[in-house]
Amino acid sequence: HQEFRAINFGAGPGCIPDSVLLEAQKELLNFQGCGKSIMEVSHRGKEFEKVIQETKSNLIKVLSIPDDYDILFLQGGASSLFSGIPMNLCESPNDVVDFIVTGAWSKGASTDGKYFCKVNKVADMEPEKFLTVTDPSQWKFSPDSTYIHYCDNETVHGVEMPPSTPDHFPEGRIVVCDMSSNFLSKPVNVSKYDLIFAGAQKNAGISGITIVIIKKSLLTKTKPSVPSVFNFLKKSQNNSLDNTPPTFNIYITGLVLKWIIKEGGLEEMERRSIEKSSNLYKFIDGSNGFYRCGIDAKYRSRMNVVFRIQDGNEQLEEKFVKEASKHNITDIKGHRSVGGLRVSLYNAITVDQTKKLIEFMTSFMNENKQ
């Protein structure tokens, strides 16, 4: 990490490994000797064909994606899938979709969903301020939902669901999961899901590309009336190249995947995530209430650590953000809807950088506690 580079704990777009940016810089004007930037080549030409195929096969490799799944690269952000998914999967607006509402993003999906289907909230954690999740035994699935939607990691509220979550769903249901903010942070048993989607701008590259991993058998559900940009079947049939895809963004995701492989794969990403997040939570919990994370320990996110200073002393929180920037620590303000502080520990953040943050938090506490 070069000295002048900020230690960027932003939630998204988040930090990108220096080596990925340097590689992109190195070949920016002359991609693999073709005399053009990857931004300037045709999406149907041989240079880009190689990039998209390599990106796909490396994604298959790191996540061990089984053969009966396809990968789509879409535009419009993960938010576009909040309508894109019901458009493709629901036969009529009378279809019922089960949503587990555990934070801002699953709530957002249920809000957009109601234009395309009947929304059943299996659980709604908003009255609990999204600080916890009810026990799966209390979830109220509808008897015949078209699919179940949940968000694996709620970026705003700092709530992460356990990998066992789909095991609590009624058998045979289609499972849709928004993994935008913990995608590629750990190994995932893809076969538990029918559709996984993720905006790339946290652990998988830059904004402007949304990755969809979809069970091929689901593609038959798409009606011809689904507009082309949302049409999963058409995207699949055309290798996501039926219109111009965000070529540079797919290229960057390809570089990020190569970086993950070089660093030791998703097992290593998970090992680092556990180390970084447990160091930080342990420190917060041991601070005698100076710092406090209100999230139920069972559901605390390894990716987005949300906390308050002195139970919401806004003046002190503002001072904290200001002083942190003097230590090159940036982007730690909580989401505007919840306030407080949020530290995102995406893959490009190192264990050492998290230690530096904890050192700063220690000295700030010692200087400011009464």
Q: Kindly list the catalytic residues.
A: 105, 178, 202
Closest CA to 282 of 293, 273, 272: 293
Q: Which residue ranges make up the site for ligand PLP (CB under 6 A)? A: 12, 77-79, 105, 151, 155, 178, 180-181, 199
**Given the complex with ligand PLP, which of 47 and 152 has the nearer CB atom?**
152
Cβ neighbourhood burial of 352 (10 Å; 0-12, 13-18, 19+): exposed
**Given the complex with ligand PLP, which of 149 and 215 has the nearer CB atom?**
149
Beta carbon of residue 105, minimum distance to ligand PLP (angstroms, whole number)? 4
Beta carbon of residue 368, minimum distance to ligand PLP (angstroms, whole number)? 31
Give buried/exposed letters for 125-146 (b at 16+ CB in 10 A, else e).
beeeebebbeebeebebbeebb
Q: Which residue is nearest to ligand PLP (CB)?
A: 77
Helix%, strand%, coil% for the chain, nearest 5: 40, 15, 40
Q: How many residues does the chain have?
A: 370
**Given the complex with ligand PLP, which of 41 and 250 has the nearer CB atom?**
250
Query: How far is it, in rounded angstroms, from Cα 332 to Cα 245?
Result: 32
Q: Maximum distance among all alpha carbons in the chain?
A: 65
Beta carbon of residue 282, minimum distance to ligand PLP (angstroms, whole number)? 25
Query: In which region does residue 328 sit, left (phi positive, over 0), alpha (psi from -120 to 50) or beta (all else)?
Result: left
**Given the complex with ligand PLP, which of 81 and 284 has the nearer CB atom?**
81
Beta carbon of residue 178, minimum distance to ligand PLP (angstroms, whole number)? 5
Half-sphere exposure of 235 (CA within 13 A, CB side): 26
Query: How far is it, in rounded angstroms, from Cα 247 to Cα 233?
Result: 20
Beta carbon of residue 181, minimum distance to ligand PLP (angstroms, whole number)? 4
**Given the complex with ligand PLP, which of 88 and 201 has the nearer CB atom?**
201
Tokens of 73: 């690269």
